[in-house]
């Protein structure tokens, strides 16, 4: 064992012991620990030149107290992070869900994909979640029947679990309450629960929530679901044979896209769905006659539901058969052409503000001031030019949250298979950051926007059955 000192740059390291029974590489490792200079960069001056890793100490004549010189550049010192790394799996479950970027999946409890896909699509509506959170556990004095109340509570709790969990959720309580309220979803065949129609599940759940979620401080019959999803229609009913004509008004929770050989796009299907024929007794003719009903939208919701009428009852096979025809649908849907004259008049000013904001974004000339809002809303000031894409800030005189008639796609419920009561249902939901998630029961996966537009049908792949659009407002 030999003790030496080593000079490196302006520093001197004293009393360094050299184990001469080990190779010089071990000595270099000692110096690396002291200086930060890697062994391969060290040049140590000894008798005969530079110390090599495999040199024999006995030939170098290194003595006790000898001073050696080292040349070399140290590695950059790696500083410890200010905060220790935190792994996602170590976070609390609520924070894990936020870090994941989307809510959890739902376990299939035995042919329940129709229910899972419905829940995932409706779960994408934040206003619905807020309404459910404020729903009371106390049913007394509300006039709501117990089964509707229980199903509403189960919906609220299931949505809460989806938001707080990173692991798949088992919606067993919701399923039990759904089957209790609507026994058709408890049908069995050979002691196995049967597949059901997702559109029927969607419709029944929305109807139940429309009965239980009432607006605070409004009339007892006013429903938050009506504000979110309700569509007011005005219809002209005409009989060409007798000349009779009447008008009707109704509220619905979805528009129907009727599919025929000449329908290739959603707009065409909606046009067909708003003009239908029916048979009823004609008072003037004293017998059954054919009437034509032409409907127009008279009030629009925040969220527009569109159902593709893909299934019909086939008597030969005694089951619902599926129309596989490809029907394209847009990411942006404008329903202005389907509105009544009265509603079109109300939409003109908000639509102009929206167009001006979009033009300003691209540096195009805006049309300028419009006083349509003043005419419609009784405003004391006219709407000015919009100078940015931030439509809410376009003009302080414009009332907030006005519908424009333009909607953006936020969810698609698809069906794969040949029959509504078989096959597989999946929910595709757009997230706040713009990415899409395919909720295939308990297995969510990220999808690209172009994949969503390929769900238009034409084969045995997943095809859109229900589309949910969100209103673009100012």
Active-site residue flag, 257: no
Buried b (16+ CB within 10 A) or exposed e, 37-48: bebebbebebee
| Listed residue (334, 332, 331, 333) closest to 451, CA to CA | 331
Known catalytic residue: 201?
no
**How open is the CA angle 144-145-146, to the nearest 5 degrees?**
115
Residues 6+ apart with CB under 8 A from 349: 370, 371, 372, 373, 375, 376, 383, 398, 402
Q: Which residues pair with 464 in a beta bridge?
A: 414
What angle in degrees, to the nearest 10, is found between the helix axes of 146-164 and 126-133? 120
- Point out the catalytic residue in the list 173, 238, 265, 424: 424
CA distances from 404 to 99, 187, 269, 274, 308 (A): 34, 43, 21, 20, 23
Q: Per the residue annotation, which of 102, 113, 149, 258 is the catalytic one?
A: 113
Rounded Cα distance between 462 and 469, Å, is: 19
Residues 6+ apart with CB under 8 A from 141: none
CA distance 169 to 210: 25
Give the integer Cα–Cα distance in Å for 127 and 225.
10
Q: Coil, strand or helix: which one is 211?
A: helix
- List active site positions: 113, 424
């Amino acid at each position: 064992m030999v003790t030496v000192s080593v000079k490196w740059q302006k520093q001197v390291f004293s009393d360094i012991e050299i184990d001469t029974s080990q190779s010089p590489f071990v000595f270099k490792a000692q110096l690396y620990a002291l200086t930060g200079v890697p062994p391969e960069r060290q040049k140590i001056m000894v008798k005969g030149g530079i110390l090599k890793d495999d040199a024999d100490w006995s030939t170098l004549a290194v003595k006790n107290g000898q001073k050696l010189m080292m040349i070399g550049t140290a590695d950059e010192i790696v500083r410890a992070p200010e905060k220790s790394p935190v792994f996602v799996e170590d976070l609390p479950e609520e924070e894990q869900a936020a870090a994941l970027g989307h809510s959890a999946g739902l376990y299939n409890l035995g042919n329940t994909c129709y229910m899972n896909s419905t829940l995932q699509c409706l779960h994408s509506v934040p206003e619905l979640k807020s309404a459910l959170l404020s729903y009371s556990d106390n049913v007394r004095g509300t006039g709501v029947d117990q089964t509707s109340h229980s199903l509403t509570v189960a919906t609220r709790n299931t949505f809460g679990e989806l938001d707080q969990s990173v692991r798949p959720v088992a919606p067993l309580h919701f399923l039990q309450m759904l089957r209790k309220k609507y026994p058709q979803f408890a049908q069995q065949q050979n002691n196995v629960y049967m597949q059901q129609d997702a559109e029927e599940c969607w419709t029944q759940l929305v109807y139940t929530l429309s009965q239980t979620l009432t607006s605070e401080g409004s009339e007892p019959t006013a429903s938050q679901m009506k504000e979110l999803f309700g569509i007011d229609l005005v219809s002209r009913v005409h009989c060409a044979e007798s000349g009779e004509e009447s008008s009707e008004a109704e509220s619905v929770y979805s528009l129907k896209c009727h599919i025929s050989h000449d329908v290739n796009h959603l707009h065409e299907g909606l046009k067909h769905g708003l003009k239908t024929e029916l048979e009823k007794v004609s008072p003037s003719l004293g017998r059954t006659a054919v009437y034509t009903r032409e409907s127009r939208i008279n009030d629009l919701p925040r969220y527009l539901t569109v159902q593709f009428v893909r299934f019909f009852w086939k008597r030969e096979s005694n089951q619902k058969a599926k129309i596989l025809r490809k029907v394209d649908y847009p990411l942006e849907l404008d329903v202005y052409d389907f509105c009544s004259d009265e509603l079109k008049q109300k939409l003109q000013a908000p639509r102009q503000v929206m167009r001006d904001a979009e033009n300003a974004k691209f540096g195009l000339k805006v049309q300028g001031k419009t006083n349509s809002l003043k005419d419609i809303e009784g405003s004391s000031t006219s709407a000015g030019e919009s100078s940015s894409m931030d439509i809410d800030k376009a003009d302080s005189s414009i009332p907030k949250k006005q519908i424009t008639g333009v909607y953006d796609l936020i969810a698609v419920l698809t069906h794969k298979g040949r029959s509504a009561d078989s096959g597989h249902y999946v929910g595709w939901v757009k997230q706040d950051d713009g990415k899409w998630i395919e909720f295939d029961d308990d297995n969510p996966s990220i999808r690209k926007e172009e994949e969503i537009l390929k769900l238009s049908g034409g084969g045995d792949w997943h095809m859109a059955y229900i589309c949910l659009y969100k209103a673009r407002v100012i």
